[in-house]
Amino acid sequence: MTLPAASTATPPPASRRAPGRARVATNACLTLAAMLLYTWVASVTGQIEVNSGRGYDGVAYARMLEVGWAEGTANTALRPLIVWLNQPAFGITGDAVEAFRVMNYAYVGLLCLALCLLFDEYSDDAAVKVLLVANVMLSIPTLKYAAYYPVLIDVGAAAVLTIATWLIVSGRRIPAAIACVAAALSREFAVAVIAFGVVKDLRHHVPFPKIAATYGPAAVVFMVWRNLVEERVHNDAIVSLGRMLSNAALWLDPGFVAFFFYFAVTLFGGVTIFVWARLPAGIQHLRREPEWAAFAVAVIAPALLGSADIWRYLAYLLPAVAVLFAICARDQVSRRWMAALIICAATVVTQRPLQTLDLTAYFRDWYPYYVYRGGVPPQAMHPELWPLWAWRFMIAAVFFGLLAAVPALRAGRQR
């Protein structure tokens, strides 16, 4: 199937067309496949053993599930929704780790379905959608991370934020308002979704009272809940803007800069490398729909001023990455099979879906800046970064060059 070349205007939303049985069937199959894939990835990856499978932040989330939201840290208590949704599973299993693991299946399915629905708003190409979902789901920030470290809210929060974004794009105003409130109780990156909706409405000249009625409740819930947490939880301080600005000094460290750009380019394997390789097409779309630029800035800014987690913040760019992938794929009107092979190869090499993890590999491969600064726990055995990471930087550059060169190969032969 051949895609049309990129147009200068955004195509009409797919929600205005009949969804079609084929599209519904494709989305259902991909959702089921993602949930089955999660089982396979979990069996290959293994599970973190720290604190009896609860990990580090997971200890706080488990306490919130077992006792109440106020038992979390100041920062984990800001994100109670996924813990609340896990309560029925905890009541059945009686074990916090098992409750999170079981519910992660539901969140993986919701995330995949929301991703498909959002993609459908910008493209009708089923082959590209399958390519997107397969590579995203095999990436570290999605299934791999949830499999190894189940007692976290990341995959659930990503599902909620992606659903909210799709509802805004598809014009479902009342459900979008409800989903934005849910996002505000899921992760601080709900700010990106609110900014996305406001900018989109301003571009379409929506009356201000209607904008306020849609996104005001989420903004109010976000601020009120933050104040409530500050009053009720005193075990540590909520990350403030001043604290984040103090992290700007990290950009004086070449190690942080190198790792940041590596993860920014390889975040979802070949998908993000392809988007970077088609940057002009992506920029054109951001000019047509500046709400996506607002979304990206609201996610990237905290990541720029965050800590060594880096990709764990950038992972919330997933809705924007999916849309840009759909847009950029329109330019790939030749050598599509070659581009698809390179994308898949890049995902396998950079995301290592078949890798079995232990704590040493966890820090060396996923959080190398902690190792670079000498901040890993003794159980991680102080892994060596070099020359392994030098090869990884080179491999990422090679895949970027290959994906950027695919159209040029065809153009050269035509000349």
Six-digit token pair at 204?
Answer: 């379409």
For residue 3, being part of any structural domain is answered with no
Q: How far apart are CA 120 and CA 132, in angstroms?
A: 12
For residue 10, being part of any structural domain is answered with no
Domains contained in the chain, number: 1
> 6-39: per-residue pLDDT in tens?
444 455 444 444 457 889 999 999 999 999 999 9
10 Å Cβ neighbour count for 352?
18
> 83-140: per-residue pLDDT in tens?
999 999 999 999 999 999 999 999 999 999 999 999 999 999 999 999 999 999 999 9
Six-digit token pair at 46?
Answer: 């293994």
Residue 387, preceding peptide bond in cis (omega within 30° of 0): yes
Query: 235 CB contacts (<8 Å, ≥6 apart)?
Result: 73, 74
Whether this model's pTM surpasses 0.95 = no
> 129-186: per-residue pLDDT in tens?
999 999 999 999 999 999 999 999 999 999 999 999 999 999 999 999 999 999 999 9
For residue 9, being part of any structural domain is answered with no
Across the chain, mean pLDDT equals 89
Query: What is the DSSP code string of 76-139?
Result: GGG--HHHHHTHHHHHHH--HHHHHHHHHHHHHHHHHHHHHHHHHTT---HHHHHHHHHHHHTS
For residue 391, being part of any structural domain is answered with yes
For residue 7, being part of any structural domain is answered with no
**Whether the Cβ atoms of residue 150 and residue 100 lie closer than 8 Å to each other:** yes
For residue 398, being part of any structural domain is answered with yes
For residue 4, being part of any structural domain is answered with no
For the chain, the first-to-last Cα distance in angstroms comes to 25
Q: What percent of the chain has pLDDT over 70?
A: 89
What SS3 state is found at 235?
A: coil
Domain extent for 342: 19-414
Q: Which of 37-46, 239-248, 300-309 has the lowest mean pLDDT?
A: 239-248
* HSE, side-chain direction, 13 A CA sphere, residue 237: 6
Tell me what pLDDT residue 245 has: 65
